[in-house]
Amino acid sequence: MTITEHGSGFELVYGDAPEFVASAPGRVNLIGDHTDYQGGYVLPMAIPWQTRVQLRRRADQMVRAFSASQSGAAQPLSYELGREAMTGGWLDYVQGVTAMLRAAGHAAGGFDMYIESDVPAGAGLASSAALEVALLRALVAAFALELDAVAIARIGRAAETDFVGVPVGIMDQMASSLADGGSALLLDTRTLDWRRVALPPQIAFVVLGSGIAHSHVRGDYSTRRAESIAAAQSLGVGELRDATLELLEAATTMPDVLARRARHVICENARVLAAVEALQKGDAASLGRLFGDSHASLRDDYEVSIAEIDQLVEIAEACPGVHGARLTGGGFGGSIVAVVDAAAAPEAARRIADAYERRSGRKATSLVCGAGVIR
């Protein structure tokens, strides 16, 4: 991992060449949203957009970090290891990684780092997880740390939950650490058991960003998580992973809002497993129906969609070659993902984006993923 080229950004900022480079992808979750913090199933895949970290070790305990994505920042931001403190900005994710790495018993020294990324922030494509995993991969190489892919994901998630204060599940970090572009990652978020599910070449996925950024730091995501915990308690289970529709139907005194939250998680877990079966059969039509059901559930039962996302889904579902579409990620903005015949995918992406811009006045970013698309 020693750098011999591609060090120009680092050199411009620090006046020297980096020693190590590492990268990690963003992810699109094909199906299984708001299940990961209730011990459920998720089915993400890696996207070609990556976050890259260039790093050089220092002889002291200082960290200097520069992000090429942060326009207007002329100088690196800095802090001392062991004295991490929230700033309310992107540096908190770097500080969270070093703080949680130390808490897990791993010693890393000071370093200079340069970050560049084409994973858009706020698009529901795990930009923060890509940064956490890329940085941890660079630190593993630089300081000979004994961390495997799952341990990296755990520390990355801890950085986000315990330091930054965002109560996310572990899907994003596991996907960034383990997923690839030729398969989907079936993950049991309770046990962290995982396996790759090959993507059939005749099916592609089109990801379209709404142009409306979301933020898990705001209260809506935390509210949904709190409601899901209350729903599990009301049903007498530790996590909604253990609940059934029969148990939910018997809970006649349960508040309606909690019942709807529970119904989404129960049904979404079942949809993930059904989606795996559809992928294995190459059944785009069945997969599309599952996507449509998932979006309706996220919109109506979990209430995390917004008008622009619903509009994008509606436009996508009317496009030739598209079998179904859904909100992907935590919601309140972000992106959708559509199941598309592979041969029709590039044209579908263009038509959907054009129609969305005409109707909403917003530009939609688009990305086509699938076996044979990402290498």
List active site positions.
172
Burial 139-174 (b: 16+ CB within 10 A, else e): bbbbbebebebebbbbbbbbbbbebbebbbbbbbbb
Q: Max alpha carbon distance in the chain (Å)?
A: 67
Q: How far apart are CA 287 and CA 295, in angstroms?
A: 12
Tell me the pairing of strands 322-328 and 335-341: antiparallel
The DSSP bridge partners found for residue 67 are 115
Q: Return the closest-CA partner of residue 203 out of 366, 32, 310, 348.
A: 348
- For residue 64, what are the CA distances in angstroms to 13, 58, 114, 199, 331? 10, 10, 9, 40, 33
Q: How far apart are CA 97 and CA 155, in angstroms?
A: 7
301: tokens are 């039962």
In this structure, what is the dihedral angle of CA atoms 267, 272, 277, 283, given to the nearest 10 degrees? Answer: 90
Q: How far apart are CA 158 and CA 230, in angstroms?
A: 23
Tell me the pairing of strands 77-80 and 62-67: antiparallel
Angle at 328 between CA 322 and CA 329, to 5 degrees: 170
DSSP letter string, 42-98:
EEEEEEEEEEEEEEEE-SSSEEEEEETTSTT--S-EEEETT-----SSTHHHHHHHH
The DSSP bridge partners found for residue 117 are 51
